[in-house]
Amino acid sequence: MALFTENGNKPDGPVLLLAHGAGAPADSPFMNGLTGFLAQSGVTTVRFEFPYMQKRREDGKKRPPDRQPALLLSFGQMIDHLSAGSLAHRPLFIGGKSMGGRMASLLGAEPTLTGRFRGVVCFGYPFHPPGKPDRWRTGHFGDLWCPQLVVQGTRDPFGKREEVSARIPPCALVDIAWLEGGDHDFKPLARQVESHSQLLQRAAQSASAFMHGKPGAEH
């Protein structure tokens, strides 16, 4: 199993169990950049790979993601792994990029896991498939038992600000931090003053504030 741990600059800070998206591995440039900034913000991250991505790492062959039950099972096993390890005494959060964030969000609505972690952090949540705004993936939001932060680019084809704001009513357990001009990977417009690295840093800062229990997310 490929595990990547990025230690935060606070030895007693929160731990984020972080899953990758559908098409890129746990050590993609996005994940490497994000976890580096999270470490600077006091968050230790532990990245893992779902079974299909582990097989791709072994033989180099691209595969579609595992079916949802297998993804959720793998994520749950990693929660068990961390809960029994050397980081068990620290506040645990779960999250992920795109598909990985969606799986984390579903676990945050699973009643049998109540209390196993403190909250969920989603980076680029796939609110709906691109071009299919009639297929929303938010039906479980009302069942969340823990707080959830979504960090989302305003240009993300999986859920832009105007459509998400119109669809998702204010909810005590779901907060959204918007990155102006960012796409699904938080890349800005060419004419934008902020760089991709700066948007990644802002994403990490919003997530860190959430995990440290501090206000500061941009809405």
Whether the per-residue pLDDT at 217 is higher than 50: the answer is no
Give the model confidence (pLDDT) of 41-81 as tens digits.
999 999 999 999 999 999 999 999 999 999 999 999 999 99
Cα Rg for the chain, rounded, in angstroms? 16
Q: Long-range pairs for 34-38 at CB < 8 Å and ≥24 separation?
A: 34/97, 34/123, 34/200, 34/203, 34/204, 35/4, 35/6, 36/6, 37/200, 37/201, 37/203, 37/204, 37/205, 38/6, 38/8, 38/204, 38/207, 38/208
Q: Give the pLDDT confidence score for residue 136 in this predicted structure.
A: 95
Q: Phi-psi category of 73—alpha, beta or left, where left has phi over 0 and alpha has psi -120 to 50? A: alpha
What is the set of domains in the chain, with CATH numbers? 3-211 (3.40.50.1820)
Give the model confidence (pLDDT) of 196-207 as tens digits.
999 999 999 999
- Arithmetic mean of pLDDT over the chain: 94
Residue 72's SS3 state is helix
Whether the per-residue pLDDT at 219 is higher than 50: the answer is no
Q: SS3 sequence, 8-43?
A: CCCCCCCEEEEECCCCCCCCCHHHHHHHHHHHHCCC
Whether the per-residue pLDDT at 94 is higher than 50: the answer is yes
Confidence of residue 1 (pLDDT cuts 50, 70, 90): low
Give the model confidence (pLDDT) of 104-125 as tens digits.
999 999 999 999 999 999 999 9
- What pTM was computed for the model? 0.95
Confidence of residue 171 (pLDDT cuts 50, 70, 90): confident
Total length of the chain: 219
